[in-house]
A = this chain, B = another copy of it.
Amino acid sequence: MNQINQVAIVGGSHGNELIGVHLVKKFQRHPDLIKRNGFKTFSLLGNPQAIDACRRYIDRDLNRCFRIDNLPSEEITIYEEIRAREIQNILQPLNENFVDVIIDLHTTTANMGICLILGNMHPILLDLAAYLSSVNPLVKVYIHEQPRNSGFLRSLSELGFAIEVGAIAQGILDAELFQQTEKIVYAALDFLEQVNQGENQPKPKAKPNTITIYKSLNAVDYPRDENGEIKAMIHPKLQSKDYQPLHPGDPIFLTFEGREIFYQGESTVYPIFINEAAYYEKGIAMYFSQKQEIDI
């Protein structure tokens, strides 16, 4: 049996994703909201300087900085690298797994609804995902394998996951999405409490036998010119159509000159993270995923 002793809720790893920022501030004002029997929950603002500046990051994307680098502290000069090490020292002092579960709160400009991003297919995470899907049918489950050294905050813990909520612009709040995210956090804590009680299954909702997952295949960039400038936009027929099938020959991009570009692949895929603002600079127009039903 897996005993969960510590749960960390992190918001504002990206300073312009305000739902996580203000949820964590709320939890810090009202710690009872995230208190559960059997484990300790604490909440943390990821990137305070970026939150103050209302930017994703100051020098580097914090959520790509959680690597094991073995560098001596004095050699780390970039703000987010320093902050990543600070957080690591809070979550894993002496490199022990002090925190068993990390819930990392994010938002996206893509029409992702309430998406759980799992870095692995641990049975507890899949059970959690099934439970949360039963609490809110808008919940979707995205599997993006992220090993320990991938740089993501959630990869620090085997039971780490992100809640990715959208569509919402950077730098704003949305009351409905705020409240939906809040409910999912409470439901996740309730579930983890039951895991500790040895039940390891959701209550009071009936446990479904299967769950739909979207498994990451590959990132897709925008068409670009010789200078690296984008030449096309997401096609209007694909905009906001996250999780929906894209068939060979379907329109995918529209150039600024009005020419349609079609998906040339040989199999149907399920695009997600379509038109995420922060991914333009990363060279990602969307991710292709594979839709699967799996038994749990």
> Which of B22, B169, B275 is the one whose CB lies under 8 Å from A109?
B169
In the complex where A170-B170, A170-B171, A171-B280 touch, is A239 in contact with B275 (Cβ < 8 A)? no
The answer to whether B233 touches A171 (Cβ under 8 A) is no
In the complex where A26-B256, A256-B22 touch, is A173 in contact with B275 (Cβ < 8 A)? yes
A280 CA to B274 CA, complexed, in Å? 26
In the complex where A54-B280, A280-B54, A281-B54 touch, is A172 in contact with B109 (Cβ < 8 A)? yes
> Which of B169, B172, B174, B254 is the one whose CB lies under 8 Å from A175?
B254
Q: In A78-107, which residues have CB < 8 Å from any B CB?
A: none
Q: Mark A156-193, 1 if CB is under 8 A from B, else 0.
A: 00000000000111111111101100000000000000
In the complex where A54-B281, A233-B178, A280-B54 touch, is A109 in contact with B171 (Cβ < 8 A)? yes
The answer to whether A175 touches B277 (Cβ under 8 A) is no
Is A147 interfacial (CB-CB < 8 Å)? no
Is A265 interfacial (CB-CB < 8 Å)? no
Is A278 interfacial (CB-CB < 8 Å)? yes
Is A148 interfacial (CB-CB < 8 Å)? no
30 cross-chain CB contacts under 8 A:
A22-B256, A25-B229, A25-B256, A26-B256, A54-B280, A54-B281, A55-B55, A109-B171, A109-B172, A167-B169, A168-B169, A170-B277, A171-B277, A171-B278, A171-B280, A172-B275, A172-B276, A172-B277, A173-B233, A173-B234, A173-B275, A174-B233, A174-B234, A175-B233, A175-B236, A175-B254, A176-B236, A176-B239, A178-B233, A178-B256
Interface residues of A (CB under 8 A from B): 22, 25-26, 30, 54-55, 109, 167-176, 178-179, 229, 233-236, 239, 254, 256-258, 275-278, 280-281
In the complex, the 7 A-B pairs of residues with the closest C-beta atoms, listed nearest first: A171-B277, A169-B169, A109-B169, A175-B233, A173-B233, A175-B254, A175-B236
